[in-house]
Amino acid sequence: MRPEVSRAFRRGAAAGLPFILVLGPFALLFGVVATEAGLPVLETFVMSVLVLAGAGQFTAVQLLAEQTPVLILLAAALTVNLRMAMYSASIAPYLRGASHWQRALAAYCLVDQNYALGLLEYEKRPEQGIAERLGFYFGVVVPIMPVWHGFTLVGALVGARIPDAFALDFALPITFLAMVAPALRTIPHVVAALVSVGAALLLAFLPYQIGLLGAALLAMCAGAATEQALRRRRGKGVAWS
The verdict on 188 and 230 lying in the same domain is yes
**Does 19 map to a domain?**
yes
> How many domains does the chain divide into?
2
The verdict on 79 and 197 lying in the same domain is no
| Host domain of residue 210 | 184-234
Could you tell me the pLDDT band of residue 231, with boundaries at 50, 70 and 90?
confident
The verdict on 152 and 193 lying in the same domain is no
Q: Which carries the bigger pLDDT value, residue 8 or residue 236?
A: 8
The verdict on 36 and 116 lying in the same domain is yes
Rounded to the nearest integer, the mean pLDDT of the chain is 83
**Does 240 map to a domain?**
no
The verdict on 47 and 166 lying in the same domain is yes
- Look up the pTM and report it: 0.73
The verdict on 217 and 149 lying in the same domain is no
pLDDT at position 117, please? 92
Of 143, 166, 181, the residue at which a domain comes to its end is 181
The verdict on 96 and 153 lying in the same domain is yes
Model pLDDT for residues 121-139, shown as the tens digit of each residue: 998 999 999 999 999 999 9
Model pLDDT for residues 21-41, shown as the tens digit of each residue: 888 888 888 888 888 888 899
- Written as one string, the DSSP assignment of 107-176 is HHH--HHHHHHHHHHHHH-TT--HHHHHHHHHHHHHHHHHHHHHHHHHHHHHGGGS-GGG-GGGHHHHHH
Could you tell me the pLDDT band of residue 209, with boundaries at 50, 70 and 90?
low
